[in-house]
Amino acid sequence: MDLKLAGRVAVVTGASKGIGLAITKSLLEEGVKVVAVSRKLSAEFDALAGENLRHAALDLMDPAAPGQAVDLAVEQFGGLDILVNNAGGPPPGTKLPRTSFFDATDEDWRAMFEFNLFAVVRAVRAAVPHMTARGEGSIINISTVLARQPASMNVDYGAAKAALNNLGKVLSEEFGSQGVRVNTVSPGGVLTAWWTEEGGAADRMATMVGADRDAIMDTLAPQMMNMVTDRLVHPQEVADAVLLLASPRSASTTGADWIVDGGFLKSV
C-alpha cells in the first residue's frame, strides 16, 4: 500500500536507537526527508546516512532544542509535515525501574516531566505554525500503556505520559479544523536498549527477582506484564503504527491513542 508519504518532511526525536531508529528508517524508506534528533549517534543510525537525512545533535532537556530541530527541518527541507515526539522514558542520567512512589524526589519528578511532557509541548509549539501554513500536518506522540494502566512502578513516568495523552486530545481538538492531526501511540514493553543495555532494566530486574537478564527479556517480563503474545514488542511494530498515522491514509484519525502492547491492556 502506498502511504503517500514521499517528499514529505519529518522531525523525529530520540532517533538514534530503538523505536526512534525504526521510525526514522521506515520514514526514509517511504521517501520522507527526516531531521533526526538525538544526543548521541549509533552505528545503526550512521548506516542510514543519505541526502534525505539530517542529524540534529540536541538535548531535549534544553528548552531551546525542540525549536531548533523544527528550524533545521524548515531550513534544510523547506517546511514540516510530520512531527514524531518519540524521545521519552528516563531522562538523561536516570535509571529505571523505580519500584515505589518514594523512590522519586521532587527533582526526579521535575526531570521526568521536563523530558516526557515539556519537551513535547515545545516541539509542538514550534511545529504547528509551519503545519497550519501548509494546511495539513501529522503529530504523533509516543506514550506508554502505563499512562492508562496506573502502577506503583515508575509512577512519575506514568504520570508524565498520562499528561501527554491528555495533551494530544486537546491539541487534536484545537488544530484539527486547520488540517493538523494529533495522535498518540502507546507501546507496552518494547525490546529496546532500555531493556538490553548493560545496567538497563533487564539487569536491574534480574537482580530484584534473582534471574538472568535473558530470562527477564524472553520470558519473565512478558509474563509479569501479562502480555498475551508472550513476548516483548519489536520496535518495528511501533514504527508501523506511526507511519500509518503519519500518512494521509489516516486523514480522519485524530485524537486517537493507538495501543501496541502485545495484549497488556485488558480494559474495554
Q: Where are the beta strands (DSSP E) in the chain?
A: 9-13, 33-38, 53-57, 82-85, 137-142, 180-187, 257-260
Handedness of CA 258, 262, 263, 265 (dihedral sign): negative
Q: How far apart are the C-alpha atoms of 241 and 186, rounded to whole Å?
A: 10
Q: Which residues are catalytic?
A: 157
Q: Which three cell numbers stand for residue 63?
A: 528548552
Task: Kindly provide the b/e burial profile for residues 74-88, where b requires at least 16 CB atoms within 10 angstroms of the residue's own CB.
Answer: beebeebbbbbbbbb
Verify cis geometry, omega within 30 degrees of 0, for the bond prior to 129.
Answer: no
**Any idea of the CA torsion for 31, 35, 36, 42, to the nearest 10 degrees?**
80
Distances (CA, A) of 104 to 91, 100, 111, 136, 151: 13, 8, 10, 40, 14
Query: Of the candidates 23, 61, 21, which has an alpha carbon nearest to the alpha carbon of residue 193?
Result: 21
Q: Would you say 35 and 77 are in contact if contact means Cβ atoms under 8 Å apart?
A: yes
Q: Would you say 263 and 229 are in contact if contact means Cβ atoms under 8 Å apart?
A: yes
